[in-house]
Structure formats: structure tokens, C-alpha cells
């Protein structure tokens, strides 16, 4: 054994088969020695000989006769005598039927030698030889040749393509062994690699035949060959080695330094750093054979030096070529991009020249408003992007400004408010918002200011129509600014000259129409002055005068919450004073003072009027009703008086707790009065605060005190003194209802009065007289 040969001790398939099949015969059979891993096992079920031996049965001569098709004989053709002899010989040697094709191609085919034909392994077997031609299927000489037989029976013609019309491939698909683990095409063209492989196999085969001439006959034991192999590099391999990788070294001297790789199971000596990459050449890891038959170290060194220089030149040329190709691709891409940019720039230049030629017509001194409009509208329709990009909308505003100034020189907003509106609406789409608003501020607002100087603020019609006509042509903020700057000062001067006690024209008729446009400006200066003038006028006002209510109601939406203090300071006190001074009529007459109060319910609100009634009307009415019930009047008369008095209260006021409790209290008094013995009823009393009938009420209450509870006695004493005594809805203390007596709270338990002066947190006992004195204080 030479020094460079290595015995490998890796685990083989034979070792694995023996490991998992301990009962297997360790001595290889003859078929296994010949075919190796491709040998068929004698125990396999798909072995044709075994199947024939197991399935062969004795012939049954009593069975009906079965004929075998012998092909189709075409008229006018003669069979070859050789074919007849071969067919007879075949039928005599075997019972398997044979088919003879009568086509033209079979007449011209020449039968090959039996020893070289697929499917013929021994003479006298009786199988028909099959020859596909061109060396196709030559490996079937070791098998039964079933593949060639099936192809011929299906109509295949040797040397021609597959398919019905012979349009398929004529040569079999060849397998290619690649250098590494790359994909298809990673190591160059596949066909070139196949040719190189065939040439290498041919040379190896010739060399093996020469070496086997003088050797002894091989033994039956299989042995792996350790003889050296020859590898040949071409330009593609050299270029593949020279491709830049993560291990590439720029220096030519260092790139040829041998590299020792100790990362695997064995030590590997590589020719350079380039061999460390994954796709290393196939000869890098193979053992090298020393040259012993030809000893010329100087010549070998020179040859190796020349080979290395040639490889470096090939690699350098390949790199330069690849770099040049990359530069060409980049340059082509750059040329394409620059050409595209040039075309775009040419288009832009053409558009700019067309725009400039049209804009120059606007610089003429005799250009009209219609001509400018036609030119700008044409530019916006033809070049919309350039129109926005170059700011032609702003430039158009500067061009049209003097033309609009000449057109509006004689315009009067009070007489012809909408005369320039169509012109501005026509120009609005062509100009930017900023430019259009500038034109309005330069030409519209000055005319409004001039008209406001001669405008009468008490006749808002003309100016209001002028601003309303421009609502579609001017933005809202501009109209509001014009009204606040020029209309509000005129209104303020008119309000200062206004006298509410003498002026017959209401102020809201000529001020409120400007609330929508100049509301903020009016709220700052005009509205406070109007409220102060109205407050001064209300000082001499009487509730019987109904003219004040519509004047104040007109300002409800404009003033909002600011109207409430005016009403509470100047209207509500007068209503309460009249309500307290007016007598309480139980039968026959209406309470006029309360009717005056009810008319203000929309402005003051139901809760305010309910509180007013609870303070000034309902306690006096309950006291008068109690005094009247003590005289035992007819029950029907009392019910009619109760119903008439209740009708004077609107539904919103009746829903308030204070009013609802007062009427419930009146019903309780009426229900208790039905239990008293009837006496001759005197006429209904006229109750006024200046004429109290203390003696009669005390006498009547003392006469019935023995029949009432302590709570009812307390209630009677409160009515006698005019003190509010009502139950608090939903509140109880120790199971007893709570009452509100004046500003205090109390409840009665076992004829003991418990009162609280801190809102119901603590209660203490107190006497009846002491309680009434505290309430009066």
C-alpha cells in the first residue's frame, strides 16, 4: 500500500444490514458479488423466477382451447424466412407467446446478437431479443429486458422519438453528478459536464482494462478499491475557484499558500483559502499521489509555477470581464434613465414655452377683463398641474385687480347691491383663495365702508340687502368683519341717541337683523347699552302695562343668559310687590295680580313663578281658605272656588313641588271641614292682610281643638299666623312625616314637637308657642 492511500473505517450499508439483521447469511452470494446493492434478494416477492416457480401449475388438458394472436398479415407482403425460423425456435423452447409486428419498420430491422441483446442472458431461454439502437438500454443485458419489450410492443421505433406521432425525445434523460451541493446550473452548463464525465469515465475504463491484463483473477470477496483518481480542471473550474468569497485574499502570494483544515474527522490539506467555501472543487479533499516514476523536481516546479500563473491570469481576466460586463449593465441603465429624464425635460420645456406665449398676451395695455378670463381659463384646462405649480392663480389676481377697480368705480352697494357679484363668481375658480380674498378686501369692503357713512342705522334694509347679496360670492368671515368694522359703529351711534320712553320704533327691529353678522361686536358695545336703557325705563313700569313683555321677549335669543339678571332685578320684584298688595279673592273674582305674573312665565320660567306664588300668594290663599272653611260654607261652593283658583295656574307651574303641596294641603283642609256640623253659612269673607279676624278664628279653632290631633292643631295655628306649614314629600323621621314650618323642619311624636334648624341633621323638643315665635323671628 502506498503512503498516500488511506483505509476508511466508516460505517457502510453492509454494517447496518448486519446490525439490524443478525440472522442474515454473512457470506455474500454470487449475485450479490456481481451486482452489489443492485442484486435482488432471493426472498423478495417481486422476483420473477420465484413467482414463476410458485405460481406454475400442471396443465389442464380438459380446458377449452385458447388461441394466441400471431399478429396481422398485410396483403401483398412476404414474411422474412429468418423471422419464421426464429419464431419457430422460440415457440419450441418456451410456452410463452411471442408477438411479431408486421409493420414496415420491423421488416427493415436487423436482429442483434443474442449475447449483446437486452433480455437474453443464456442461450435457449426462448426470449425474443430487443434492440433499441444507439446504446439505449444497454444496461438491460443484465436483466430480463422488460423495459425494451414494453416499448416495442407499444409502438416505439428505435432511434426515433416517443409519443403517438414520434414527436418526443429520442435520447434518454442523462443524470449529471455535480461538483458540490449547488443547484442546477450552479457549476456551469449541465451538458458540458456530462461530456466531460463521459470522457473521464472512458479514460478510467481504458486504464482499468490495461491494469487488469497482468493481474490475477479476483476473489469472490468484495473489496473497495483505494486506487488514486485523476481529476482535470478546466477554465470554468479555475474561474469558480477565483470567485470572491468571505475567505478571499487579495494578495496573489497568500492565495497560493496551502491551508490545513482540522475541522472534520480527518486532516485536510487544501491548496488555498478559496477551498474553505461550501462549493469546493471535487479534487480538493482527495488524497494526492506522489510522482515516483518521473523525478524532475525543477521541471515540476516550473510547470506548477506556469500552471499557477495561468490560473491567476484566467481568474484576473474573468474578474475584469465580469467587472466590464457589470459596468456595461450599469451604463446601459444610466443611459436609459438619462434619456427618460431628457424626454421629460423636453416635455416640460414645451409646456413652459406654451404657457409663456399665452401669458404674454396679458401684458398688453389694452387687455380686457373678458380676454384675461379666457386666457387664464384656457391655461387651467390645458395645463392644470403647471397652473398650480407656477402660481398662475396668484398672478392672475394681480393682473385682474386694476380691471376690477375700473369696473366697480361707479358701483353703489345700497342701490345695486348685486351688480358685480356675477363677475366675482366667474373669477373665483381661476384664482387661489388668498388672491380672491385679497380682491374682495381691496374692492368690496371699501365700497361697503363708503356706503355705511351715508347709511341710516334705523333703516337696515339697504345695507342688509347688500351684504346678503354677497353671501355666495364672499366668505362668511369677510362679511362678518365688514359688518363689525363699518355697521356696528353706526348702530352704536344710533343706540346712544335712542330713548325707550319716547321713541315709537322698537330698538330690536333695527338692531337684531345684524345679530347674525356682527353678533360679537354688538355684544361687546351695543347690547350692554340697550340693557342699561331698558333697565332705566323699567324703573317707572307697572306690571299692569303689557308693552314691556314683548319688547324684552324679542331679545331672548340674542342675549341668552344675560336677560335673566335684568328680569330678576327689574321685573320680578314689581310682580311680587303687586301680588302681595292685591287681595285674595275666593269666590266671584279673579286675582288680576296673579294673571299679570302668569304672562311672564316664558321669560321668567315656571320654577321662578312657582317660588313667587309660594312666597306671596299661596300662604295667604290657604289662610283665607281656612278662615272660610271655619264658617262651614257649602261644600259645592268651596269646590267651585278651589277649581277656579287652580285654573289660574299653568300646567308647568302646577308641577312644581311647592305649588303641588299647597293645593294638596287645601284639599286636606276641605276634607276635614266636611266632618264639622253644618251651621248657617255666612257670606264668604274678604281676606286682606290689613283686616285679620283673629277673634273669630281663635274661637272656632278652640271649639274644635278637642276633635283634632296635635299635628292638625299645629297646622291650624300656623294658618292663623300666616306661617307656611307643608309636608316634605318622601321624608320621614321615626316613622313620622317631616313638615316644613317656615325655614325650620319639624315632626310630631306623642304630642311632642321635634324641630331642627340645621337642615334635618339634629332634632330637639320644643313647645308650640316657642316654635311659632322662632319661625316669626
pLDDT at residue 128, rounded to an integer: 47
Write down the pLDDT at residue 100.
Answer: 39
Query: What is each CA distance from 564 to 22, 373, 560, in whole angstroms?
Result: 113, 56, 8
Contacts of 385 (CB under 8 A, 6+ apart): none
Whether 409 contacts 374, CB under 8 Å: no
Looking at the DSSP bridge assignments, the partners of residue 725 are 741
CA–CA–CA angle 751, 752, 755 (5° rounding): 140
Which range, of 199-203, 238-242, 556-560, 705-709, averages the lowest pLDDT? 705-709
- Which of the listed ranges 39-53, 306-320, 665-679 does the model predict with the highest average pLDDT? 306-320
- Residue 679 binned pLDDT confidence (cut-offs 50, 70, 90): very low
Secondary structure (3-state) at 709: coil
Is 605's pLDDT higher than 70? yes
Beta carbons of 771 and 740 less than 8 angstroms apart: no
Mean pLDDT over residues 583-591, rounded?
Answer: 76
Task: Measure the CA dihedral 458/464/465/470, to 10°.
Answer: 160
Q: What is the pLDDT of residues 433-451, one digit of tens each?
A: 899 999 999 989 999 988 8
Q: Is 588 left (phi over 0), alpha (psi -120 to 50) or beta?
A: left
Residue 372 pLDDT more than 60? Answer: yes
For residue 739, what pLDDT is reported? 87
pLDDT exceeds 60 at position 146:
yes
> What was the pLDDT predicted at 119?
42
Average pLDDT, integer, range 611-630: 89
Average pLDDT of the chain to the nearest whole number:
76
pLDDT for 67 equals 56
Q: What is the pLDDT of residue 75?
A: 47
Is pLDDT of 110 > 50? no
71-85, 309-323, 357-371: least confidently modelled range: 71-85
Determine the Cα–Cα distance for residues 746 and 412; give it in Å rounded to an integer.
Answer: 77
Higher pLDDT residue, 726 or 557?
557
Is residue 268 within 8 A of residue 6, CB to CB? The reply is no
SS3 of residue 736 by DSSP: strand
pLDDT band at 13 (very low <50, low <70, confident <90, very high): confident
Residue closest to 526 by CA, chosen among 541, 514, 535? 514
Indicate if the alpha-carbon torsion angle 532, 537, 543, 548 is positive or negative: negative
Question: Where in the chain are the domains?
Answer: 13-53, 81-153, 408-544, 606-776
Nearest to 687 by CA among 547, 568, 583: 583
Mean pLDDT of 734-763: 85
pLDDT at residue 78 tops 70: no
pLDDT of amino acid 96: 41
SS3 68: coil
Please tell me which residue, 213 or 690, carries the higher pLDDT value.
Answer: 213
In 486-571, where does DSSP find H-type helix?
Answer: 488-496, 508-511, 515-521, 527-538, 548-553, 556-559, 563-570
Statement: residue 602 has pLDDT above 50: yes
Amino acid at each position: 500500500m502506498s503512503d498516500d492511500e488511506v483505509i476508511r473505517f466508516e460505517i457502510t450499508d453492509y454494517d447496518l444490514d448486519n446490525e439490524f439483521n443478525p440472522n442474515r447469511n454473512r457470506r455474500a452470494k454470487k449475485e450479490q458479488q456481481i451486482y452489489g446493492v443492485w442484486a435482488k434478494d432471493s426472498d423478495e416477492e417481486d422476483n420473477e423466477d420465484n413467482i414463476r416457480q410458485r405460481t406454475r401449475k400442471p396443465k389442464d388438458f380438459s380446458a377449452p382451447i385458447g388461441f394466441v394472436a400471431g399478429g396481422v398479415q398485410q396483403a401483398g407482403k412476404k414474411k422474412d424466412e429468418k423471422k419464421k425460423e426464429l419464431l419457430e425456435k422460440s415457440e419450441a423452447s418456451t410456452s410463452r407467446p411471442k408477438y411479431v409486428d408486421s409493420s414496415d419498420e420491423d421488416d427493415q430491422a436487423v436482429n442483434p446478437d443474442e449475447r449483446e441483446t437486452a433480455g437474453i442472458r443464456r442461450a435457449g431461454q426462448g426470449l425474443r431479443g430487443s434492440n433499441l439502437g444507439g446504446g439505449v438500454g444497454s444496461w438491460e443485458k443484465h436483466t430480463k429486458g422488460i423495459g425494451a419489450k414494453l416499448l416495442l410492443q407499444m409502438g416505439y421505433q428505435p432511434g426515433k422519438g416517443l409519443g403517438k406521432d414520434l414527436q418526443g425525445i429520442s435520447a434518454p434523460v442523462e443524470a449529471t453528478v455535480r461538483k458540490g451541493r449547488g443547484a442546477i446550473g450552479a457549476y456551469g452548463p449541465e451538458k458540458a459536464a456530462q461530456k466531460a464525465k463521459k470522457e473521464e469515465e472512458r479514460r478510467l475504463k481504458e486504464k482499468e482494462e490495461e491494469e487488469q491484463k497482468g493481474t490475477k483473477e479476483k476473489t469472490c470477496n468484495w473489496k473497495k478499491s483505494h486506487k488514486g483518481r485523476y481529476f482535470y480542471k478546466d477554465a470554468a473550474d479555475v474561474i469558480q475557484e477565483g470567485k470572491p468569497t468571505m475567505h478571499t485574499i487579495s494578495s496573489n502570494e497568500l492565495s497560493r499558500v496551502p491551508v490545513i483544515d482540522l475541522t472534520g474527522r480527518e486532516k485536510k490539506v487544501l491548496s488555498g483559502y478559496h477551498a474553505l467555501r461550501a462549493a469546493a472543487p471535487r479534487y480538493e479533499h482527495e488524497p494526492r499521489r506522489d510522482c515516483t516514476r518521473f523525478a524532475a523536481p525543477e521541471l515540476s516546479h516550473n510547470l506548477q509555477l506556469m500552471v499557477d500563473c495561468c490560473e491567476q491570469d484566467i481568474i484576473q481576466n474573468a474578474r475584469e470581464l465580469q467587472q466590464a460586463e457589470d459596468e456595461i449593465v450599469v451604463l446601459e441603465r444610466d443611459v436609459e434613465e438619462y434619456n427618460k429624464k431628457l424626454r421629460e425635460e423636453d416635455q416640460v420645456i414645451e409646456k413652459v414655452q406654451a404657457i409663456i406665449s399665452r401669458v404674454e398676451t396679458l401684458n398688453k395695455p389694452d387687455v380686457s377683463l373678458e380676454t384675461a378670463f379666457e386666457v387664464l381659463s384656457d391655461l387651467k384646462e390645458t395645463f392644470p398641474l403647471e397652473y398650480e405649480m407656477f402660481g398662475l392663480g396668484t398672478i392672475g389676481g394681480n393682473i385682474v385687480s386694476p380691471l376690477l377697480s375700473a369696473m366697480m368705480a361707479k358701483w353703489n352697494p345700497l342701490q345695486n347691491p348685486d351688480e358685480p357679484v356675477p363677475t366675482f363668481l366667474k373669477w373665483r375658480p381661476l384664482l387661489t383663495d388668498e388672491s380672491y380674498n385679497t380682491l374682495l378686501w381691496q374692492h368690496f369692503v371699501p365700497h361697503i365702508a363708503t356706503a355705511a357713512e351715508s347709511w341710516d342705522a334705523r333703516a337696515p334694509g339697504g345695507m342688509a340687502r347688500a351684504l346678503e347679496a354677497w353671501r355666495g360670492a364672499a366668505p362668511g368671515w369677510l362679511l362678518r368683519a365688514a359688518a363689525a368694522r363699518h355697521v356696528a359703529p353706526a348702530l352704536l351711534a344710533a343706540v346712544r341717541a335712542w330713548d325707550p320712553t319716547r321713541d315709537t320704533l322698537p330698538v330690536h327691529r333695527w338692531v337684531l337683523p345684524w345679530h347674525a353678522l356682527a353678533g360679537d361686536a354688538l355684544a361687546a358695545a351695543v347690547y350692554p347699552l340697550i340693557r342699561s336703557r331698558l333697565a332705566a325705563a323699567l324703573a317707572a313700569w307697572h306690571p299692569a302695562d303689557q308693552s314691556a313683555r314683548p319688547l324684552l321677549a324679542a331679545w331672548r335669543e340674542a342675549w341668552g343668559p344675560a336677560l335673566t339678571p335684568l328680569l330678576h332685578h327689574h321685573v320680578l320684584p314689581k310682580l311680587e310687590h303687586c301680588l302681595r298688595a292685591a287681595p285674595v279673592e275666593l269666590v266671584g273674582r279673579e286675582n288680576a295680580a296673579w294673571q299679570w305674573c302668569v304672562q311672564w312665565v316664558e321669560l321668567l320660567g315656571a320654577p321662578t313663578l312657582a317660588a313667587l306664588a309660594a312666597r306671596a300668594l299661596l300662604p295667604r290663599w290657604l289662610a283665607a281658605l281656612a278662615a272660610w272653611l271655619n264658617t262651614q260654607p257649602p261644600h259645592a261652593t268651596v269646590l267651585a272656588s278651589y277649581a277656579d283658583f287652580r285654573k289660574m295656574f299653568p300646567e308647568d307651574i302646577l308641577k312644581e313641588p311647592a305649588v303641588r303641596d299647597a293645593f294638596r294641603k287645601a284639599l286636606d283642609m276641605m276634607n276635614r271641614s266636611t266632618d264639622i256640623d253644618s251651621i248657617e253659612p255666612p257670606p264668604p269673607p274678604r281676606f286682606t292682610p290689613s283686616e285679620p279676624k283673629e277673634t273669630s278664628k281663635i274661637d272656632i279653632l278652640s271649639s274644635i281643638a278637642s276633635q283634632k290631633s296635635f299635628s292638625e292643631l299645629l297646622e291650624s295655628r300656623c294658618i292663623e299666623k300666616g306661617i307656611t306649614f307643608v309636608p316634605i314629600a318622601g321624608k320621614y323621621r321615626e316613622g313620622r312625616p317631616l313638615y316644613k314650618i317656615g325655614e325650620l323642619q319639624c315632626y310630631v311624636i306623642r304630642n311632642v314637637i321635634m324641630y331642627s334648624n340645621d337642615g334635618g341633621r339634629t332634632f330637639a323638643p320644643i313647645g308650640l308657642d316657642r316654635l311659632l315665635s322662632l319661625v316669626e323671628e
